[in-house]
Amino acid sequence: MEGKKKRLLVLYASQTGNAMDVAERVGREAERGGCPSVEVQSMDHFDPNTLPSESTVIFVVSTTGQGDPPDTMKVFWRFLLKRNLGSSWLEGLHYAVFGLGDSGYQKYNFAAKKLDKRLQDLGAKPIIEKGLGDDQHPSGYEGALDPWLMSLWKTLNHVNSTILPEMSEILHPSMNKLEHPKFKIMYHASSEVVQHDSHISDLKDMKNMIERARSMSPSLHGHDHGEPHYLLKMVTNKQLSKGDDGRDVRQFVLEPLASVVEYQVGDVLEVLPGQNPAFVDAFIKRCKLDPDSYITIEPWSGERDAMDSYVNGSSDHPIQLRTFVSRAMDVASASPRRYFFEVMSYYASAEHEKEKLQFFASPEGRDDLYQYNQKEHRTVLEVLEDFPSVELPFEWLVQLVPPLKKRLFSISSSPLAHPNQVHLTVSVVSTMTPLKRRRYGLCSSWLASLDPNKNEEVLVPSWIHRGTLPPPPPMLPLILIGPGTGCAPFRAYIEERAMQNLVESTAPILFFFGCRNRDSDFLYQDFWLAHSSDDGILSEEKGGGFYVAFSREQERKVYVQHKIREQSARVWGLLNAGAAIYLAGSSTKMPADVTEALEEVVAKESGVSREAAARWLKTLEKAGRFNIETWS
């Protein structure tokens, strides 16, 4: 223990913000318990070389996609996997791991489980058994978090009572003391800042304004990607689905106004959605803010060291308050966190509202809060309107309101077929809450609302990133599996292969598509059929094939995995020829069902056991010949 840091360090890796919220709660409770030194950090801000110098670390990690760690954990995780780290490298480190996942996914809480095992392999000692939060639990991840945290504090206190000298404040919080917010708002006269935020006269100004607003946000913690790569204009907004079943799938075609858009098949477009101006104005009015004021956000002096890396240079560039709210704060889509209700309780002047908020923030009120807030997708604006006596200072709002997040979409066009255009295939998200309130996805419904034929130009701030599906060379045979909007990246692949085939020989493609029925959601029907006939890229004459599972057209539901089994010999023949498998679509049951069907095909056609077939598919995955891109 010589030279160990005498602090409680909380490291988190978050993709959607839940892990960050849990980590901050861990830090708050430790401080409430009198812990003399607590620090909460994102993993990508922590140097893993220094991990052996820590004495006590709490890890909070979410799991994304098919068991992948969040982006902010990837560098840290690669470091931990180094072979030169011995089994005693972390000797003397006491740790605990809490994971956030969804048991509906095949690789439930995989990142947390792997981290826990690796830490033990390196000599670290667990304080308590890892905790696994589950979105499927009736109370969400907090159903596991609450008892796990209580067990953590009691165990830590038993081992060393000096760590939490005020343990009773954790066990029975008095709720009579609120710490000050971590940030302060500086207001500036408009005469000081006209040069910084005058009328947006060109695209560069708009890009810069978006970057400044988002870099100032404490909630984004420096994890944004700078100014948009492109500002795109929508030129096509076409409904692909038909019928009255409520499903709305659109094709969006976007073009840059000034620059040339560059990407390759398999890339993804990241979009910053716009918020309804009426909701932004209602939030500003409800919170009694001046939309035309100019602000900067700075850490309180005591927080400066920890926060400087999060808020980058904002004090030099004041920004209009309304711009900051509309570009960085999600006021009318995301639900607030549990701590939001606790802080609100201190600012409620009506006694019945204060009592209700205190109950929501308590362990006893957890399930009621989950039903009121998360299950109903209650927004920040709605919550504030439900508790009219609460007057939250803006300092707390910028800290607690969820950040406006960007959304990722697979690009469904080839730049060879559509130069200087980006095509998206998007399902407009629409859900019904338990109280029969219709909720719409912020980004998909915003994109669907844009009318290319109107005179006013609404630009779509966009970033292009590498996806998880690598672009295949022309002579690589492909087995593509993409039910529903999972077909999006494969439309791009097939367009690209068709263009390549005009100038060189290309390998065959098998494509398995799935939808409910041919009359309502057979997306891009004419496109697939054209390429699967007359020696097209998907034609059987070319060694390929196009197979559709219409799940609702017969009594027994038929999915893509059934079609894969039906075409067992063709699938195996292409795999034997060196084909790569690409799978895209829903991240719940589909990937596991398809993988199971592929295992059956390999076992049947090659005469090996299912276990051997599963191992063979694993080797394909490691060799980059089995690629999966899924979304929830």
Q: Is 443 annotated as a binding residue?
A: yes
Q: Is 444 annotated as a binding residue?
A: yes
Q: Is 249 annotated as a binding residue?
A: no
Q: Is 620 annotated as a binding residue?
A: no
DSSP-assigned beta bridge partners for residue 611 = none
Q: Is 65 annotated as a binding residue?
A: yes
Q: Is 631 annotated as a binding residue?
A: yes
Q: Is 34 annotated as a binding residue?
A: no
- C-alpha to C-alpha distance for 601 and 610, rounded to whole angstroms: 9
Q: Is 414 annotated as a binding residue?
A: no
- For residue 604, which of 612, 509, 511 has the smallest C-alpha distance? 612
Q: Is 561 annotated as a binding residue?
A: yes
DSSP-assigned beta bridge partners for residue 410 = 268
Q: Is 551 annotated as a binding residue?
A: yes
Q: Is 559 annotated as a binding residue?
A: yes
Q: Is 442 annotated as a binding residue?
A: yes
- C-alpha to C-alpha distance for 178 and 303, rounded to whole angstroms: 16
Query: How would you classify residue 313: left for phi > 0, otherwise alpha for psi between -120 and 50, otherwise beta?
Result: left
Sequential DSSP letters for 485-538: GGGHHHHHHHHHHHHHHTTS----EEEEEEES-TTT--TTHHHHHHHTSTT-TT
Q: Is 222 annotated as a binding residue?
A: no
CA atoms within 13 A on the CB side of 191: 0
Q: Is 552 annotated as a binding residue?
A: yes
* Single-letter amino acid, residue 500: Q
DSSP structure class, residue 292: T
Residue with tokens 């075609």, as numbered in its chain: 253
CA atoms within 13 A on the CB side of 353: 18
- C-alpha to C-alpha distance for 216 and 237, rounded to whole angstroms: 33
Q: Is 520 annotated as a binding residue?
A: no
- C-alpha to C-alpha distance for 590 and 630, rounded to whole angstroms: 9
DSSP SS3 for 547: strand
Cα dihedral sign for 102, 106, 107, 108?
positive
DSSP SS3 for 584: strand
Q: Is 316 annotated as a binding residue?
A: no
Q: Is 433 annotated as a binding residue?
A: no
DSSP E strands in 108-204: the ranges are 125-126, 131-134, 183-188
Q: How remote is the C-alpha of 80 from its chain's centroid? A: 24
Q: Is 558 annotated as a binding residue?
A: yes
Residue with tokens 């038993």, as numbered in its chain: 158
CB atoms near residue 475 (< 10 Å): 11
Query: How would you classify residue 232: left for phi > 0, otherwise alpha for psi between -120 and 50, otherwise beta?
Result: beta
Q: Is 525 annotated as a binding residue?
A: no
Q: Is 535 annotated as a binding residue?
A: no
Q: Is 64 annotated as a binding residue?
A: yes
Q: Is 467 annotated as a binding residue?
A: no
Q: Is 616 annotated as a binding residue?
A: no
Q: Is 168 annotated as a binding residue?
A: no
Q: Is 19 annotated as a binding residue?
A: yes
Binding site residue list: 14-19, 62-65, 135, 407-410, 441-444, 485, 551-552, 557-561, 593, 631
Binding site residue list for FMN: 14-19, 62-65, 135
Binding site residue list for NADP(+): 485, 551-552, 557-561, 593
Binding site residue list for FAD: 407-410, 441-444, 631
